[in-house]
């Protein structure tokens, strides 16, 4: 795996940081995408203190779609190919927040920005000859809901509902993307890392706080939560595409929204939203 290039979003904490550390020890050239430059520099230095793998940092905010486009341009200008893209970043917000793009923040950060970044970097992934896309979903996708237009309902906000909808969307996007990538050398898979002891779990609010209190005694370490992403990024045995991995194995997706028409509407709505803003 020496010199394979991996871009990881949300790489300064939790599962993302643990994934980066594990891949560095496997010889990957890491590119860490982070919002906080000082924190990113500390993580880069920490990884490089125990590994000879090169580590680059791109500073950017997934809450700004124009920033996502700039991130893709920065990466493309600096690297001839991309071997692994891990869309790991995610938030759960206790109150509805609207981004400068006019979108609900959980939806934008957890899903739409990952959709855009992936689309903009597909060319570099094709250059790899064995490109891999790994999207972080969650088991709560099973309670996620989308409207007839493939978008989440904006009429009533709940932290868990918005988070679940975004994780359902990233999962459906993965399946649809894999179908559209058939015949290429690029694969796309989704991962549920498990209930992981992270800041998101510790800082949970509302209904999710009750769930977090119940789940905390059973929570696993970030290192264990990163295991599936590390496997999908590094194992030469990975041939699967369009699969959902939970508990260390591929499992069926159980959602009434997982159908070709709904996946197509989600895709079209996402493309439309980004084209409207001149980003695709």
User: How does pLDDT run across 156-197, given as a tens digit for each residue?
Assistant: 888 889 999 999 999 999 999 999 999 999 999 999 987 655
pLDDT at 210 over 80: no
**What does residue 241 show for φ and ψ, rounded to 5 degrees?**
-150, 140
Instruction: State residue 157's pLDDT score.
Output: 86
- Which residues are 62's β-sheet partners? none
Residues 243, 261: Cα–Cα separation, whole Å: 18
Q: What are phi and psi of 221, to 5 degrees?
A: -75, 155
Q: Is the pLDDT of residue 200 over 80?
A: no
Residue 149 has pLDDT above 90, yes or no: no
What's the pLDDT band for 243 if we cut at 50, 70, 90? very high
Contact present, 55 and 33 (Cβ < 8 Å): no
Q: At 4, list the tokens.
A: 């394979």
| 142 Cβ contact list (under 8 Å, min separation 6) | 164, 254, 255
In this predicted structure, what is the pLDDT of residue 211? 57
The whole-number pLDDT of residue 217 equals 52
Confidence of residue 208 (pLDDT cuts 50, 70, 90): low
pLDDT in tens, 110-133: 999 999 999 999 999 999 999 999
User: What pLDDT was estimated at residue 248?
Assistant: 84
Q: Provide the b/e sequence for 144-179 (b: ≥16 CB within 10 Å).
A: bebeeebbbeeeebebbbbbbbbbbbbbbbbbbbbe
Which one is predicted more confidently, 19 or 159? Answer: 19
Kindly list the catalytic residues: 163
What's the mean per-residue pLDDT of the chain?
Answer: 91
Cα three-residue angle 226-43-10, rounded to 5 degrees: 50
If DSSP states are collapsed to H, E and C, what string results for the chain?
Answer: CCCCEEEEECCCCHHHHHHHHHHHHCCCEEEEEECCHHHHHHHHHHHHCCCCCCEEEEECCCCCHHHHHHHHHHHHHHCCCCCEEEECCCCCCCCCCECCCCCEHHHHHHHHHHHHHHHHHHHHHHHHCCCEEEEECCHHHHHCCCCCCCCCCCCCCCHHHHHHHHHHHHHHHHHHHHHHCCCCCCEEEEEECCCECCHHHHCCCHHHHHHHHHHHHHCECHHHHCHHHHHHHHCCCCCCCCCEEECCEEECCCCCCCCHHHHHHHHHHHHHHHHHCCCC
Specify the residue for token string 């991309």.
82
Boundaries of every domain in the chain: 5-276
For 227-249, what is the mean pLDDT? 93
Task: Note the pTM of the prediction, 2 decimals.
Answer: 0.92
Reading phi first (left if > 0) and then psi (alpha if -120 to 50, else beta), residue 53 is in beta
**Which of these ranges, 82-86, 208-212, 246-250, has the smallest mean pLDDT?**
208-212
Q: Which residue has the higher pLDDT, 214 or 125?
A: 125
| pLDDT value, residue 150 | 80
Q: State the Cα–Cα distance between residues 163 and 104, nearest whole angstrom.
A: 11
Give the pLDDT confidence score for residue 75 in this predicted structure.
98
| Six token digits for residue 276 | 């409207």
Contact call for residues 106 and 144 (beta carbons, < 8 A)? no
Please check whether the domain covering 5-276 is classified as CATH 3.40.50.720.
yes
Residues in the chain: 280
Structure tokens, 22: 């594990």
The predicted pLDDT at position 201 comes to: 46
Q: Which of 183-197, 220-234, 247-261 has the lowest mean pLDDT?
A: 183-197
Q: Count of CB atoms within 10 A of residue 275's CB? A: 10
């Amino acid at each position: 795996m020496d010199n394979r290039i991996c871009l990881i979003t949300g790489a300064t904490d939790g599962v993302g940081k643990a994934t980066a550390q594990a891949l560095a020890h496997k010889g990957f050239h890491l590119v860490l995408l982070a919002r906080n430059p000082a924190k990113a520099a500390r993580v880069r230095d920490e990884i490089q203190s125990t590994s000879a793998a090169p580590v680059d940092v791109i500073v950017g905010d997934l809450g700004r779609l124009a920033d996502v486009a700039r991130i893709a341009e920065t990466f493309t200008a600096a690297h001839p190919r991309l071997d692994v893209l891990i869309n790991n970043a995610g938030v759960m917000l206790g109150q509805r927040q609207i981004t400068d793009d006019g979108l609900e923040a959980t939806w934008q950060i957890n899903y739409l920005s990952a959709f855009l970044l992936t689309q903009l970097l597909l060319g570099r992934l094709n250059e790899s000859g064995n490109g891999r896309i790994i999207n972080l979903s969650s088991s709560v996708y099973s309670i996620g809901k989308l409207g007839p237009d493939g978008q989440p309902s904006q009429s009533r906000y709940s932290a868990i509902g918005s988070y679940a909808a975004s994780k359902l969307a990233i999962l459906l996007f993965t399946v649809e993307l894999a179908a559209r990538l058939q015949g290429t050398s690029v694969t796309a898979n989704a991962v549920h890392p498990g209930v992981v002891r992270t800041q998101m779990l510790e800082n949970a609010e509302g209904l999710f706080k009750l769930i977090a209190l119940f789940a905390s005694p059973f929570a696993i370490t970030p290192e264990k939560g990163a295991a599936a992403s590390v496997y999908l990024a590094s194992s030469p045995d990975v041939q699967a595409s369009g699969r959902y991995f939970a508990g260390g194995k591929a499992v069926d997706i159980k959602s009434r929204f997982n159908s070709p028409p709904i996946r197509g509407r989600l895709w079209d709505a996402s493309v439309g939203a980004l084209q409207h803003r001149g980003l695709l």
